[in-house]
Chain A
């Protein structure tokens, strides 16, 4: 039961993070939202693995935890290289 409550709370948090990613307005809001969404995914996978009685599926959550960082680093490097060349979007 406790797993269901936790999973529901995480799912609501994911919805909120998604709202921030869609609404923006600045790019940094979106980067943060995606990063947070990734973290919540790791948590939800872990909780779901216990809820379904398959704790060996934790491998998946582990894979996400390791991989998530790479995407965010790539985004930051992209901004460092790109920022001076491109005119800034109006909404930043």
Chain B
């Protein structure tokens, strides 16, 4: 039954993507990308990938729309007319699509239990999680412990990307602003509703952070949700007030501290005579050590993601204000 819905939503997805490409108005494209993100998240959900769907929910629906609009604020809304070189593009895309479609014939069928992906590491992960880490959500065990190197890499990629963005756009400082940003302070209804919402988003973010071992969630999603609550505050009360609550130097510190915490947990493993990012030695009981390690690195991921998303948001808003 879910397959029918999946296919229907995938058709809508293709229509949305096509419309987003065809439109020449960038604002319309941003709106359509919002719908695209909602659609892809439902599809992730229907494929039982709740962790990925939650990330898409936290980042795609809220924050990327805000960042797109922040970028659009100092650009022209209308795309420039482009010289039509459509035929060559159409031919090359068609050939690539045919090759990819041909390659999919060799892939195992959807949901095939004999597919190589289900034969190699997956059974080992499912068996070992219970005895070695003892948490119900296998995905968190894989992400935090078995594949800790990959997650560490991701955190540093996020940090590097933020450093790059902050080099291009100046970090906001009080001196170069033209006027005080009032936000939506004079609009009573959004302000009241938003104020009611902020504590719940923060609470939900903390729940996602600490419940990641039991249900979908973890540091990435929680960091995005916490950042979203601060972005909501900045939209309602103005950027200046938001920067008074969480100044840029705190955000910069959070960014670096999260990555350092993650790396530091790995180094503690080496100092205790184990491998890098082996949490078993963090406690006398290896299983408890694994759990402590996962909690610490998830906290590190959460700090970094919060700091990075908020820094980028503030940089975009500040750029829009100084121009």
Contact = CB atoms under 8 A, between A and B. Distances in A.
Interface in B15-62: 15-16, 19, 25, 27-28, 31-32, 34-35, 38, 41-42, 45-46, 48, 50, 53-54, 57-58, 61-62
Nearest to B44: A60
B42 A71 contact: no
B57 A64 contact: yes
A76 B35 contact: no
Contacts of B190: 73, 76
B46 to A, nearest CB: 7
B interface SS class: helix
Interface string A1-15: 000100100010011
B2 interface: yes
A45 B1 CA distance: 15
Nearest to A10: B5
Interface residues of B, number: 59
Contacts of B65: 70-71, 74-75
A89 B5 contact: no
A17 B208 CA distance: 30
A67 B32 contact: no
B95 to A, nearest CB: 28
B25 to A, nearest CB: 6
A28 B41 CA distance: 24
A interface SS class: helix
A56 to B, nearest CB: 6
B42 A59 contact: no
Given A21-B32, A22-B15, A60-B53, A67 B5 contact: no
Interface stretch (B169-177, B228-236, B241-249, B262-270): B228-236
A57 B215 CA distance: 8
Sorted nearest first, the 9 A-B pairs with minimum C-beta distance are A67-B62, A71-B65, A74-B66, A41-B38, A70-B62, A22-B19, A63-B57, A78-B69, A30-B31
